[in-house]
């Protein structure tokens, strides 16, 4: 196995030993402790449970300031059980989403590059030693083939590329795969099929490795803590594995910031520990990032535990009910209001539909088997889900076209915009714009331009019809906001760009 220096080989065991660098954990600790104080969180949840309705309403009002919420306020919100009060939180979450993100939804597809993993997480189908899984790692040609299907057959512009923790999918492999994906430029119906933003979901890395991803043009770097509860973390991640080190994972995003990646994403796997604790953990994570770097996470993901091949879940005691899940997503909308909220196709279409007014991103046309996209388009009989080659089972496998049509029917415009990071609107700059609501202006224009592109290049006739109607409504709305939100010059520039897209030009943005 290569050693990453190009000069020799290294065993998996030696590679594992070399990964964790204590000197890239210690500087972030305070008095030798990390920022998750289990006892303090549990006490706060207990003491704030059953808060008066008036206090909850005051917390809701404060949330409209679009600032990270105080811990005690989050604890009070997670302690609400009254359905009427929960509904008030949900309604506020809808308005806050509208204020920060309008009615836009961003879509993406996950691309799984390998099923080899050195870890042994109790809940995961890819854990080492699970013989029900067929192991493999995609070659660069195979990654290109997968990305080509997503970019040129389906029309995605944004991917989350997922890598197992293994020397065969190390930082060099990740960087090379990103470059291969960005290199695709295929002629499609009226334009070009290409991936404009590669987000990466990968293991925690050293600062030196993270710099390699930064240089290769990473969009967002996602590392989900899975559970913030120290004891639960220990129970589900065996101590002697790489993932068994809680703090190496907890500070992965801090190291990313220090490596120059200012667009990072947090997440928790709901069902491992008490959901209220996980919500508090996510907010604590955002707070520590804000405290040290002046900006919090770009997105928050809320996956729930799902079945996986040959994986026993009888030990799980904290499954999250649909009602609690629905509510916790609303609490996160209020608690970390500037962050995008991602709900994926692990959930059923009904659950995702019920959350559309408060989330900002979802995946579509998803396959999570290794090499599944290429197979799907070369063999129409291929199964949507094949347990032996995927990490978990999906709840929604509909096409991007069908999802876009449904969203448009319900008044949501799908944005394929990837302008933010390409124009330098990332990190602190984007946080300030989001908090003030000004980012929404750029996004609104870019959503129309990129949605029109997709309609021209990929939509079915039915979806194009509904999409065109939606675009007309959006343009009328933008026009009505001149000059309050858009100057006449910006509006003229926008309409010129829109006409150019209809005439075949691509990738125009503000
Ligand atoms: S959850 Fe991730 S790290 Fe854990 S076994 Fe699965 S692929 Fe490996």
Which one has a higher pLDDT value, 226 or 483?
A: 226
Q: What percent of the chain has pLDDT over 90?
A: 75
Q: What is the DSSP string of 249-308?
A: HHTHHHHHHHTT---EEEEB-BTSS-HHHHHHHHHHHHHHHHHHHS---SEEE--B----
pLDDT over threshold 70, residue 430: no
Question: What residue spans define the domains of the chain?
Answer: 12-30+93-422, 427-502
**Residue 204 in contact with ligand 1 by CB distance below 6 A:** no
Q: Which mutation among 133, 165, 225, 240 tests ligand 1's pocket best, with the greatest number of atoms within 8 A of CB?
A: 165
The pLDDT value recorded for residue 431 is 66
Which residue(s) pair with 268 in the sheet?
A: 226
Q: What average pLDDT is seen over the chain?
A: 91
| Lowest-confidence segment of 139-153, 255-269, 370-384 by average pLDDT | 370-384
Count of CB atoms situated within 10 Å of the CB of 484: 7
Q: Which atom of ligand 1 is nearest to the CA of 126?
A: 6
**Residue 165 in contact with ligand 1 by CB distance below 6 A:** yes
**Residue 127 in contact with ligand 1 by CB distance below 6 A:** yes
Which residue(s) pair with 342 in the sheet?
A: 301, 361
CA atoms within 13 A on the CB side of 118: 22
pLDDT over threshold 70, residue 414: yes
**Residue 116 in contact with ligand 1 by CB distance below 6 A:** no
Q: Work out the average pLDDT over 24-30.
A: 98
**C-beta separation of 281 from 300 below 8 A:** no
**Which of 174-188, 303-317, 422-436 has the highest mean predicted lDDT (pLDDT)?**
174-188
| pLDDT per residue as tens digits for the range 137-159 | 999 999 999 999 999 999 999 99
**Residue 126 in contact with ligand 1 by CB distance below 6 A:** yes
Among 449, 462, 466, CA closest to 502: 449
Q: Work out the average pLDDT over 47-60.
A: 98
The pLDDT value recorded for residue 425 is 62
**Residue 117 in contact with ligand 1 by CB distance below 6 A:** yes
| Lowest-confidence segment of 14-18, 373-377, 383-387 by average pLDDT | 383-387
| Lowest-confidence segment of 77-81, 127-131, 307-311 by average pLDDT | 307-311
Q: Which mutation among 20, 121, 269, 346 tests ligand 1's pocket best, with the greatest number of atoms within 8 A of CB?
A: 121
**Residue 236 in contact with ligand 1 by CB distance below 6 A:** no
**C-beta separation of 147 from 193 below 8 A:** no
Strands 186-187 and 192-193: antiparallel
φ/ψ of 508, rounded to 5, equals -105, 135
Which one has a higher pLDDT value, 471 or 346?
A: 471
pLDDT over threshold 70, residue 88: yes
Please list the helix, strand and coil fractions of the chain in percent, rounded to the nearest 5, in that order. Answer: 50, 10, 40
pLDDT over threshold 90, residue 444: no
Which residue(s) pair with 188 in the sheet?
A: none
The pLDDT value recorded for residue 429 is 64
The pLDDT value recorded for residue 423 is 65
Q: Which atom of ligand 1 is nearest to the CA of 226?
A: 1
Which one has a higher pLDDT value, 385 or 178?
A: 178
Q: Which atom of ligand 1 is nearest to the CA of 242?
A: 3
First and final CA of the chain: distance in angstroms?
A: 45
How is domain 12-30+93-422 classified at the CATH fold level?
Answer: TIM Barrel (3.20.20)
Among 162, 225, 242, CA closest to 199: 162
Which one has a higher pLDDT value, 200 or 307?
A: 200
CA of 122 to the centre of ligand 1 (A): 9
Q: Which mutation among 112, 122, 126 tests ligand 1's pocket best, with the greatest number of atoms within 8 A of CB?
A: 126
CA of 472 to the centre of ligand 1 (A): 45
Q: Which mutation among 164, 167, 392 tests ligand 1's pocket best, with the greatest number of atoms within 8 A of CB?
A: 164
Nearest CA to ligand 1 atom 5: 127
φ/ψ of 298, rounded to 5, equals -75, -35
Helices 171-182 and 140-148 meet at what angle, rounded to 10?
Answer: 40
Q: Which mutation among 19, 115, 117, 368 tests ligand 1's pocket best, with the greatest number of atoms within 8 A of CB?
A: 117
pLDDT over threshold 60, residue 354: yes
Q: Which mutation among 119, 160, 224, 313 tests ligand 1's pocket best, with the greatest number of atoms within 8 A of CB?
A: 119
Which stretches of 268-412 are assigned E, i.e. beta strand?
299-301, 340-342, 361-363
The pLDDT value recorded for residue 432 is 67
Among 435, 343, 432, 438, CA closest to 105: 343
CA of 200 to the centre of ligand 1 (A): 15
CA of 256 to the centre of ligand 1 (A): 20
The pLDDT value recorded for residue 508 is 86
Q: How confident is the model at residue 368 (pLDDT cuts 50, 70, 90)?
A: confident
Nearest CA to ligand 1 atom 2: 164
**Residue 121 in contact with ligand 1 by CB distance below 6 A:** yes
Q: What percent of the chain has pLDDT over 70?
A: 91
Q: How confident is the model at residue 391 (pLDDT cuts 50, 70, 90)?
A: low
Q: Dig out the tokens for 172 from the structure.
A: 């060099």
Q: How confident is the model at residue 427 (pLDDT cuts 50, 70, 90)?
A: low
Nearest CA to ligand 1 atom 4: 121
Which 3-state string (H, E, C) describes 80-148? CCCHHHHHHHHHHHHHHHHHHHCCEEEEEEEEECECCCCCCCCCCCCCCCCCCCCCCECCHHHHHHHHH
The pTM assigned to this predicted structure is 0.93
CA of 124 to the centre of ligand 1 (A): 6
b/e per residue 312-334 (b: at least 16 CB within 10 A): eeeeeebebeeebbbbbbbbbbb
Q: Work out the average pLDDT over 361-382.
A: 80
Q: Work out the average pLDDT over 199-214.
A: 98
The pLDDT value recorded for residue 5 is 47
């Amino acid at each position: 196995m290569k050693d990453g220096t190009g000069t020799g080989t290294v065993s998996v065991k030696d590679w594992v030993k070399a990964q964790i660098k204590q000197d890239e954990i210690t500087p972030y600790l305070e008095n030798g402790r990390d920022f998750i104080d289990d006892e303090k969180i549990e006490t706060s949840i207990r003491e704030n449970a059953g808060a008066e309705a008036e206090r909850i309403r005051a917390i809701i009002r404060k949330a409209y300031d679009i600032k990270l919420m105080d811990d005690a306020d989050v604890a009070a919100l997670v302690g609400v059980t009254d359905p009427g009060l929960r509904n008030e939180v949900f309604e506020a979450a809808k308005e806050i989403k509208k204020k920060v993100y309008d009615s836009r939804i961003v879509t993406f597809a996950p691309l799984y590059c390998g099923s080899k993993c050195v870890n042994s997480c109790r809940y995961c189908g890819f854990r080492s030693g699970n013989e029900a899984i067929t192991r493999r790692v995609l070659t660069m040609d195979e990654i290109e083939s997968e990305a080509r299907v997503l970019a040129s057959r389906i029309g995605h512009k944004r991917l989350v590329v997922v890598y197992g923790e293994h020397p065969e999918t190390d930082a060099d492999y990740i960087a090379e795969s990103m470059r291969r994906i960005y290199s695709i430029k295929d002629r499609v119906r009226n334009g070009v099929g290409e991936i404009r933003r590669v987000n990466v979901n990968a293991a925690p890395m050293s600062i030196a490795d993270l710099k390699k991803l930064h240089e290769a043009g990473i969009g967002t770097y996602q590392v989900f803590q899975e559970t913030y509860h120290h004891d639960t973390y220990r129970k589900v991640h065996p101590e002697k594995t790489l993932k068994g080190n809680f703090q190496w994972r907890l500070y992965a995003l801090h190291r990313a910031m220090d490596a120059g990646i200012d667009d990072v994403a947090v997440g928790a796997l709901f069902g491992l520990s008490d959901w209220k604790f996980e919500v508090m953990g996510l907010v604590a994570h955002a707070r520590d990032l804000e405290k040290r770097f002046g900006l919090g996470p770009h997105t928050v993901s809320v996956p729930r535990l799902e079945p996986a091949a040959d994986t026993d879940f009888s030990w799980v005691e904290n499954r999250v009910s649909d009602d609690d899940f629905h509510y916790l997503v609303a609490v996160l909308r209020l608690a970390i209001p500037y962050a995008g909220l991602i709900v994926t196709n692990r959930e059923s279409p009904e659950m995702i539909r019920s959350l559309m007014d408060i989330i900002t991103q979802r995946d579509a046309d998803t396959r999570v088997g290794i090499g599944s996209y290429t197979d799907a388009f070369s063999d129409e009989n291929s199964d949507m889900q094949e347990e032996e080659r995927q990490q978990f089972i999906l709840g929604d496998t509909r096409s991007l076209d069908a999802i876009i049509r449904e969203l448009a029917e319900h008044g949501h415009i799908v944005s394929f915009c990837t302008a933010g990071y390409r124009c330098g609107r990332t990190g602190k700059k984007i946080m300030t714009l989001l908090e003030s609501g000004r980012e929404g202006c750029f996004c609104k224009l870019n959503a129309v331009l990129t949605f029109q592109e997709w309609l021209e290049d990929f939509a079915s006739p039915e979806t194009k019809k509904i999409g065109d109607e939606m675009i007309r409504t959006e343009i009328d709305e933008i026009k009505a906001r001149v000059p309050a939100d858009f100057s006449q010059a910006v509006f003229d520039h926008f309409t010129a760009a829109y006409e150019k897209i209809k005439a075949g030009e691509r990738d125009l943005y503000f």
